Amino acid sequence: MHESKKAQADAEARAAPPHLHFARSAVWNTLRSSESKRSYRFAVDDFVAWYCSEPRIAFNKTVVLRYRLELESRRLSSSTINLRLDAARRLAYEAADTGLLSAGH
């Protein structure tokens, strides 16, 4: 049976390295409104699923730029791309702030 795209993305997000799970929770805890939490949860999960589907590479600025190219190839709106990139950046900042990712990565 063929999994839906969302189910596949959810499975890939669950397969994320532990430091991304912790950082993902930290991102959601910084948000106040339930609508922001919903939007960022989806955006962060999309990034993590994409990241985990790529050959294992360091989580750094180059990865975020590659993710941007991926989002543009999906022909998403500028506002959607910006939201998803912001979510990826927040994820990186949270991982760096908690010592799970070095600031240089």
Which of these, 75, 80, 77, 18, lies nearest to 46 by C-alpha position? 80
Global pTM value: 0.71
Spatial separation of the C-alpha atoms in residues 85 and 74, rounded to whole Å: 14
3-class DSSP state for residue 15?
coil
Spatial separation of the C-alpha atoms in residues 10 and 13, rounded to whole Å: 5
Q: What is the pLDDT along the chain (105 residues), one digit of tens a residue?
A: 345 655 555 554 455 665 666 677 777 777 888 888 888 888 988 998 898 887 777 777 888 899 999 999 999 999 999 999 999 888 888 777 766 555 444
The token pair at 8 is 């596949």
Do 84 and 43 touch, CB atoms closer than 8 A?
yes
Do 94 and 16 touch, CB atoms closer than 8 A?
no
